[in-house]
Amino acid sequence: MSDTSATARRKPGHTAGLLDIRNIIGSLLAIDGLILLLAGIFADTEEEKTGGINANLWAGLVLLVVGVAFIAWCRLRPVVVPDDYDADHDEGRPEGH
Amino acid sequence: MSPTVEPLIVPMATLIDASFVDYLILVIYFAFVLGIGFLAKSQVSESMDFFLSGRSLPAWVTGLAFISANLGAVEIMGMSANGADFGLPAVHYFWVGAIPAMLFLGVVMMPFYYGSKVRSVPEFMLRRFGQGAHLVNAISFAVAQLLIAGVNLYLLGSIVHALLGWPLPVALIVAALIVLSYITLGGLSAAIYNEVLQFFIIVAALAPLTILGLHRVGGWNGLTDKITAAGDAGHGPPADQQLNSWPGQALSGFDSSFWSVVGIVFGLGFVLSFGYWTTNFVEVQRAMASDSISSARKTPIIGAFPKMFVPFITIIPGMIAAVLVTDIAKVKAGETVPGGSSGDGVTYNDSLILLMRDLLPNGLLGLAITGLLAAFMAGMAANISAFNTVFSYDLWADYVVKDRDDDYYLRIGRIATVAATAIAIFTATLAANFSNVMDYLQVLFGFFNAPLFATFILGMFWKRMTPTAGWVGLVSGTLSAVAVAFLSEDAFGSWSTGVIPLGGQGAAFLAASVAFVVDIALSVGVSMVTEPKPASELRGLVYSETPVEDRTDPNEATYPWYRRTVPLASIALVMVIVLNTIF
């Protein structure tokens, strides 16, 4: 969608920052992924339950990758907060979706 | 409310043993939830912001929030229970009972909701039909939300009790306080952000559970072999009915396969499903928070894509539990097993929890507990915020204290939120008295939404429909459905008289259909003898009186095809037909 408006921006270049939903999703998934990864390496893998799979390790790896991907997406295509319809509004508005 | 008190509460006997790492994942999630509310608080500037998030959220966020608001206790526990009980026919709740209605909402209904700038479905009733229909609808909606919030809170509390061993009253109050803090701190914006977050946690918890489960039973073939063996032994419905979604006699309760298909398509797919998805403001409010008509229309359509795959992580784990978890297999064989999360014996409702206990190591277990708790909280939060909007704008501002400034109604909204949460703790203890509370609720949904849908669809496409017909149709539709429930075998529990020999799904379907037909018939009859509104007042409210530019997005045509409403909806429709053909 077209986030670039013709109207003047009061705070040019201001990004959604921490409140960007992609940052929030990404950091939670990455933190949980890291915990599971460490549990998979150091804790009891309880393979009698999982049928011989180190479930924590693999689930942790996937979560970590997805989480980092979200944060990277946010870094690579940061959101510029639009001023065109709401003066003090500061919500994230990711481009391209 | 503070997560740090958890280790201090001495756990009683629990269904599942949680360890330090499980608690850590849980605490981190709730720290995020409260953190979002705190961060979002500084953004709340005016009351429109608090209620509809200033209409600034992109379609993919509101699309995920749209289905997350529905991904609550009923969806996760109910659908895995149905999977364990009936097998694949449970997918009709998604592929027939949800997707078509969600696409219809996006393509046909949403331009009216968005274009007329109404904040709630009751407000739409006000502008189309006037105060009679508005008051009837707003009051019954507000009451229903309080009752449903209580049921969600009760389910949440009983799961906390079963999983972590906290006493039920403590679990109820702690859960209520956390839901309350994130709604009041950040408004709908925070609630929607949390719903999106929780969607990812649920998928992250249920996907490994499904994969591990399939691994343990020997893949899809191993699962079908075991279900066939159990079915042949006379445990549950015949195996071929469990392994094919059509004609689904086990689910619909009809003996004839023809009437079973008719019942599923028209009962579940049309009256109940269209009634639920197109008029339920808990859902519609999500789409209204987006930034354009185009985004609002795409909200339910984008939501339809993940929605059609939710059965794979809810129904399939249920089917796995029925052959892998000893206690559930015994229940299916007709035995009685003591214990379970209710304490009154194991039921199909326990399928998912017991499967988690048997398959997940500590760590993933914590993630799964977090996902379940988050889903149950989302249901309650959605009820409370919908109640908040309807109470402050539709009841208080229109009928009690009129014409005050935004600050006043914002304050009323916050008070209503606190009061609703307190009432929900009370209705949760009421809900604890019903052993079949979910069946009861589904009947209530059916006869509340069916007349509303009839009045809506007629009012939108027939400009002759009069204000009097609006409220007469709603009242008579609901009363006739209540009457059918009283006359059926068990739709009202022990209050039903059994004059009509139908129970369970059949009774809910009949009540909804009667409500729909009575509403349409009386609305048409009353409209013939009363005065319609002048056409000039129906702009944006009736299809034929709304200029094309009011219900279309000028930018829509400039988007590439994959960001336009109708092509997206067509893809979703084709995908769901393919899924129905395969299974």
| Cβ of residue A3 closer than 8 Å to a chain B Cβ | no
- The Cα of B378 is separated from the nearest Cα of chain A by a number of Å equal to 16
Interface test with A, best of B19, B22, B61, B199 (most A CBs within 10 A): B61
The reply to whether A23 touches chain B by the CB within 8 Å rule is: no
Q: Which among B40, B201, B216 has the least Cβ separation from residue A51?
A: B216
CB B241 within 8 A of CB B89: yes
Residue of chain A nearest B215, judged by CA positions? A51
Q: Name the pLDDT band for A31 (thresholds 50, 70, 90).
A: very high
Partner-chain contact A91 B56, CB within 8 Å = yes
B61 contact residues in A (CB cutoff 8 A): 21, 94
Size of interface A-B (CB pairs under 8 A): 118
Q: Do B196 and A88 touch (CB under 8 A)?
A: no
Question: Exposed, middle or buried, B10 (CB in 10 Å: 0-12/13-18/19+)?
Answer: exposed
Measured between its terminal Cα atoms, the distance across chain B in Å is: 45
Sort out which chain A residues have CB atoms less than 8 A from B60's CB and list them.
Answer: 94, 97
- Sign of torsion over alpha carbons B30, B33, B36, B38: negative
A39 to B361: CB separation less than 8 angstroms, yes or no? yes
pLDDT 10s digits, B310-322: 888 888 898 898 8
Write the residue in A28, A43, A49 that is nearest to B359 by C-beta.
A49
Chain A nearest-CA residue for B201: A29
pLDDT band at A3 (very low <50, low <70, confident <90, very high): very low
Burial category of B560 from C-beta neighbours within 10 Å (exposed 0-12, middle 13-18, buried 19 and up) = exposed
From chain A residues 41-70, the ones with a CB under 8 A of any chain B CB are: 43-46, 49-51, 53, 55-56, 58-60, 63
| Contact residues, chain A, for B291 at CB < 8 Å | 1, 93
Cβ of B364 and A56 within 8 Å?
yes
Rounded CA-CA distance B226/B210 in Å is 16
Q: Which residue of A has its CA nearest to B42?
A: A90
Q: How many CB atoms lie within 10 A of CB B89?
A: 27
Q: What is the pLDDT of residue A49?
A: 78
Across the interface, of B28, B59, B361, the residue whose CB is closest to A50 is B361
Distance from CA of B272 to the nearest CA of A (A): 32
The full set of domains in chain B, from first to last, is 3-89+137-244+296-433 (1.20.1730.10)
Distance CA(A42)–CA(A36), nearest Å, equals 10
Give the tens place of pLDDT for each residue, B67-107: 776 776 667 877 888 888 777 877 887 887 788 888 888 88
Test the A interface: residue of B200, B210, B211, B299 with most A CBs within 10 Å:
B200
Q: Residue A24: its chain B contacts at CB < 8 A?
A: 32, 36, 193, 197
The ranges assigned to domains in chain A are: 26-76
**Burial zone of A80 (CB within 10 Å; 0-12 exposed, 13-18 middle, 19+ buried):** middle
Q: Nearest CA to B544 among B465, B469, B466, B461?
A: B461
State the pLDDT at residue A28.
92
CB pair distance less than 8 Å for B28 and A28: yes
Output b/e per residue, B382-413; b: 16+ Cβ within 10 A: bbbbbbbbbbbbbbbbbeeeeeeeeeebbebb
**A39 Cβ contact list (under 8 Å, min separation 6):** A56, A60, B21, B361, B362, B363
| pLDDT reported for residue A66 | 92
Question: For residues A69 and B128, what is the distance between their CA atoms, to the nearest angstrom?
Answer: 47
Does the beta-carbon distance from A29 to B361 stay under 8 Å?
A: no
The per-residue pLDDT string of chain B (583 residues; one tens digit each, 9 = 90 and over) reads: 344 444 434 444 566 677 888 889 988 988 887 777 676 666 544 433 433 444 456 667 777 777 776 776 667 877 888 888 777 877 887 887 788 888 888 888 787 777 766 666 777 788 888 888 888 888 888 888 888 888 888 878 777 777 767 777 887 888 788 778 767 665 555 666 777 788 888 888 889 999 998 888 888 888 888 878 877 777 767 777 777 767 666 666 666 667 667 667 766 677 777 877 777 766 777 777 676 777 778 888 888 888 888 888 888 898 898 888 877 777 777 777 766 655 566 777 778 888 888 888 888 888 988 888 877 777 788 788 778 878 887 888 878 887 788 788 888 888 888 899 899 888 887 766 655 555 666 677 766 788 888 888 888 888 888 888 888 999 898 888 888 878 876 666 556 666 666 655 667 777 888 888 899 999 999 888 888 888 777 777 787 777 666 666 666 667 776 667 777 777 777 787 777 777 7
Residue of B nearest to A87 (CA): B45
Using beta carbons and an 8 Å cutoff, which residues of B are at the interface with A? 21, 24-25, 28-29, 32, 36, 39-40, 42-43, 45, 49, 53-54, 56-61, 189, 193, 196-197, 200-201, 204, 208, 212, 215-216, 291-292, 295, 358-364, 367, 555, 563
- Give the span between the Cα atoms of B353 and B336, in whole angstroms: 18
Minimal Cβ distance to B32: which of A24, A59, A89: A24
Polymer length of chain A: 97
Distance, in Å, from the CA atom of B23 to the CA atom of B3, rounded to the nearest integer, reads: 9
Alpha-carbon distance of A80 to B389, in angstroms, equals: 30
Question: Exposed, middle or buried, B200 (CB in 10 Å: 0-12/13-18/19+)?
Answer: buried
State the smallest CA–CA distance between residue B553 and chain A in angstroms. 12
